[in-house]
Amino acid sequence: MPGAVEVTDTLWRGVLLAGRTLVLEGLSGQVLLQGTEGDVARLRFVRAGRGADAAAARRALRQIQIREEGTTSTFRYHLQARRVELVRVQVEGIVPRTTRLLLTRAGGTVRVEGIEGPIRIHLVAGEVHVRDAADSLEIRLQNGSVSAHFRRLPIDAVVTIQTENGDLWLTLPREADAQIQAETAAGAVRIEDLTFSKRRLQPRGAAGARFDGQLGQGRARIMLRTAHGDIVLRSGGPNGLKLPDLMRPLPPDTVFQEPGAP
């Protein structure tokens, strides 16, 4: 971000999701989310503004707004500011393990662990790391790499991972039952410790490759795409993502503390 000085503050938010989809959208910044037991999402928003001096940085910080909107099906946090190049918002917290998650942001690293509901992540630029997924997964980036690790892959799951520039790593359980299509325009496709009942690897142009394979009866659907990067398909084992316990217990209020909360 431009500006020599940065100032930050912290806002705490919590909501009783009760089966609703959690939506986080707008601005850039790191996201760290951990799935846990319970129905309450407890989130910490660390807002940062930059400027030529402290006064200018504080003015940028005050521009950041967190709008909240709840319906019977979704609860949405929308992050906005007039000068997006001067601000960022880091989101950390715990959410119900069964959360349905939709994340749409301009950029930043996203790390998600232990969320067993459907996950959709759209970024302009950054990295995405998902661990212990157990439902459908959609990840789309313009620039950045992705690693995704499934604890369980339902037979009706649909998995789509796509980036224009970056590598893709997908780890599946050994008993996975899926039809897989993986394609890179400039890179390699590697298979590690997966046994396919059907498989075919074809070169694509001068530098790319396409792989089609079937695990078991091929009931789940997996599509992997990168324009410039490698694709790695592997079996079992974690992908190394570990998230800290970031949040203390808080009541299930929609808004409960303002900037400067300890």
Q: 90 and 18, same structural domain?
A: yes
Please check whether residue 87 lies inside any domain of the structure. yes
Does the pLDDT value for residue 173 go beyond 50?
yes
Shared-domain flag, residues 104 and 131: no
pLDDT of residue 255: 33
Identify the pLDDT of residue 2.
66
In this structure, the answer to whether residues 135 and 72 fall within a common structural domain is no
pLDDT at 204: 79
Residue matched to tokens 């910080």: 61
CA distance linking residue 79 with residue 234, whole number of Å: 36
Its domain, for residue 59, covers 1-109
Clarify whether residues 171 and 97 are in a common domain: no
45 shares a domain with 1: yes
What is the mean predicted confidence (pLDDT) over 75-98? 96
pLDDT tens, position by position, 176-226:
999 999 999 999 999 988 999 999 999 877 789 999 999 999 999 999 999
User: Are residues 146 and 102 both part of a single domain?
Assistant: no
35-39, 58-62, 243-247: which range is least confident on average? 243-247
Report whether pLDDT(248) > 70: no
Within a domain: 166: yes
> Is 133 found in the same domain as 45?
no
How far apart, in Å, are the Cα atoms of 132 and each of 62, 126, 137, 168, 174?
37, 20, 11, 16, 14
224: number of Cβ within 10 Å:
25
Number of domains in the chain: 2
- Answer yes or no: do 154 and 82 share one domain: no
Residue 190, in any domain of the structure = yes
Is residue 259 one of the residues assigned to a domain?
no
CB-CB contact of 218 with 259 (8 Å):
no
**Strand pairing class (110-113; 255-257):** unpaired
- CA distances, 116 to each of 48, 119, 124, 190, 208 (Å): 31, 8, 24, 27, 33
Dihedral of the CA atoms 114, 182, 120, 126 (nearest 10)? 90
Residue 99 has pLDDT above 90, yes or no: yes
Q: How many whole angstroms separate alpha carbon 104 and alpha carbon 112?
A: 14
Does some domain include residue 245? Answer: no
Q: Say yes or no: 22 and 99 in one domain.
A: yes
Residue 47 lies in a domain: yes
Instruction: Dump pLDDT digits (tens) for 102-142.
Output: 999 999 999 999 999 999 999 999 999 999 999 999 999 99
**What pTM was computed for the model?**
0.88
Same domain? 85 vs 5: yes
In a domain, 254, yes or no: no
Residues 152 and 100 in one domain: no
160 and 227 assigned to the same domain: yes
**Residue 104 contacts residue 25 (beta carbons within 8 Å):** yes
Strand-pairing partners, residue 200, are 212
In a domain, 38, yes or no: yes
pLDDT above 60 (res 36): yes
